[in-house]
Amino acid sequence: MLTIKTINDNPEAVIKKLAKKHFDGKEIIYKVLGEDKRRRDIQTELDGLLADVNAKSKSIGALMKEGKKDEAENQRSFVQEVKGRIQVLEADLKDAEMQVQEMLVLIPNLPADEVPEGRVAEDNVEIKTGGAIPDLGDEALPHWDLAKKYDLIDFELGVKIAGAGFPVYKGKGARLQRALINFFLDKARDAGYIEVQPPYVVNAASGYGTGNLPDKEGQMYHATLDDLYLIPTAEVPVTNIYRDVILEEKDLPVKNTAYSACFRREAGSYGKDVRGLNRLHQFDKVEIVRIDTPEHSYESLKEMVNHVESLVEELGLPWRILRLCGGDMSFTSALTFDFEVFSAAQKRWLEVSSVSNFESFQANRLKCRYRTTEYKKTQLVHTLNGSALALPRIVAALLENNQKPDGIHIPKALVPYTGFDIIN
């Protein structure tokens, strides 16, 4: 959530930056400013009246002691009258604060200066590539056929049990899943991240804190009886560990990693884009989350991007990094880098990670601050997160890209985790 100070300081600059995200912010920004002025005016009047009441209340006792009963009664009548006005102002102040908050939560984060212009995915900017795209020929099978051939994943059984988008992993397919999770967690721990195991459900306050509510309410599974939401990513519970927390500057950056199942209601487009593992309602992911000072957060973002790059390199997958354009960024992000791997049988790029800096946007919702070492003042932290990595499309690319006549060969980095080097 943007701070009211950010909007007040330069509303036209805010409107211009929001336009890069293709969000028309002029009307709502000036409504926020108007309501905030009303709030400040009420607060000023309220503070003045409270001071008057306090002073006159103190004087009543002194007047009574001096025998000035009539004057004391006049003061008492004045105090009672003003207290009525104070009650009205307090109600008005609460309403104005609520109006400001209800509008602020509808405004996206501002994109960083380096975010490219653009509206759709095709406008994203490729900044780096790596790995070699294998030439499998026309006989190569897509991963859904490989999964059936080697009895790795049963999509139809998932439909029977739950519905489309909930596959059942079997045998070496399940072992490959577990191997990837452990591999990613070990690599994150080696990079200094502390592993946590969070709940898979969160309350509304947690969803609000990371910006998933109200923006993504329609995409989250909601257990209405308990008013709990299934997590769309471990980012939500892990980041909310620090809701309403004041950290010490010496303890930053905070670095956490977590494995979780992830649940998302929307399944995107149709056809090949959602076939097999391309898009699911439930999937596994290892997340990395960082909390840092504003001065260091973009260095942290670079370190996180490098970490994800090392993972796809070790898996031997062809990859590329995209800097997302304004129109393709999330509601909460200030700058996002997407990682994609090439699926050789499908002959298309598949997104496997987004690494983002949210600057103080989430922190303002979370009320997460840090106390500076030198001045002992508190200010908002910056929060960051990244997929390291999401499994479904990694599995799809691994199966497709490593298929050979004798079976599917497992990358060397994974063999100690799988316990086998080939699926046949």
pTM given for the model = 0.92
C-beta of residue 128 within 8 angstroms of C-beta of residue 380: no
What is the overall mean pLDDT for the chain?
94
Confirm or deny that 374 is annotated as ligand binding.
Answer: no
Task: Give the single-character DSSP code of 115.
Answer: P
Tracing tokens 């790795």 back to the chain, one arrives at 152
Neighbours of 40 (CB within 10 A): 14
C-beta of residue 386 within 8 angstroms of C-beta of residue 354: yes
% of the chain exceeding 90 in pLDDT: 87
Amino acid at 417: Y
Cα 313 versus chain centre, distance: 25
How many whole angstroms separate alpha carbon 236 and alpha carbon 209?
A: 8
Q: Is the pLDDT of residue 57 over 90?
A: no
Q: Please tell me the predicted confidence (pLDDT) of residue 303.
A: 98
Confirm or deny that 299 is annotated as ligand binding.
Answer: no
C-beta of residue 288 within 8 angstroms of C-beta of residue 255: yes
Amino acid at 222: H
Confirm or deny that 195 is annotated as ligand binding.
Answer: no
Confirm or deny that 279 is annotated as ligand binding.
Answer: no
C-beta of residue 157 within 8 angstroms of C-beta of residue 174: no
Q: Quick one: tokens of 252? A: 């930053």
What are the residue ranges spanned by the domains of the chain?
4-104, 121-423
Q: Quick one: tokens of 167? A: 């596959």
Q: Please tell me the predicted confidence (pLDDT) of residue 74.
A: 76
Confirm or deny that 336 is annotated as ligand binding.
Answer: no
Confirm or deny that 353 is annotated as ligand binding.
Answer: yes
Confirm or deny that 385 is annotated as ligand binding.
Answer: yes
**pLDDT band at 43, cuts 50/70/90?**
very high
Coil/strand/helix, residue 68: coil
Q: Please tell me the predicted confidence (pLDDT) of residue 61.
A: 67
389 preceded by cis ω (within 30°)?
yes
C-beta of residue 276 within 8 angstroms of C-beta of residue 288: no
Topology, domain 121-423: BirA Bifunctional Protein; domain 2 (3.30.930)
Give the largest CA-CA distance in the chain. 108
For residue 390, list its beta bridge partners.
Answer: 285
C-beta of residue 106 within 8 angstroms of C-beta of residue 313: no
Q: Please tell me the predicted confidence (pLDDT) of residue 273.
A: 72
Amino acid at 318: P
Q: Quick one: tokens of 101? A: 């908050």
Q: Crossing angle of helices 26-65/69-104, nearest 10°?
A: 160
User: Under CATH, which number does the domain 4-104 receive?
Assistant: 1.10.287.40
Closest CA to 153 of 274, 277, 280, 315: 277
Average pLDDT in the 235-247 region? 98
Confirm or deny that 290 is annotated as ligand binding.
Answer: no
Q: Quick one: tokens of 34? A: 């108007």
Closest CA to 175 of 424, 419, 421: 419
Q: Is the pLDDT of residue 233 over 90?
A: yes
Q: Is the pLDDT of residue 76 over 80?
A: no
Q: Quick one: tokens of 275? A: 């076939």
Confirm or deny that 351 is annotated as ligand binding.
Answer: yes
Tracing tokens 């191997």 back to the chain, one arrives at 179
Average pLDDT in the 409-417 region? 98
Q: Please tell me the predicted confidence (pLDDT) of residue 2.
A: 97
**pLDDT band at 64, cuts 50/70/90?**
confident
Task: Give the single-character DSSP code of 360.
Answer: T
Q: Quick one: tokens of 295? A: 């001065």
Q: Residue 401: which residues within 8 A CB-CB, separation 6 or more?
A: 134, 136, 316, 317, 318, 342, 343, 344, 345
Confirm or deny that 265 is annotated as ligand binding.
Answer: yes
Q: Please tell me the predicted confidence (pLDDT) of residue 72.
A: 72
Q: Where are the alpha helices (DSSP H) in 21-68?
A: 26-65
Dihedral of CA atoms 89, 93, 94, 100 in degrees, nearest 10, equals 160
- Calculate the alpha carbon distances from 77 to 70, 71, 104, 138, 163 in Å: 11, 10, 41, 93, 70
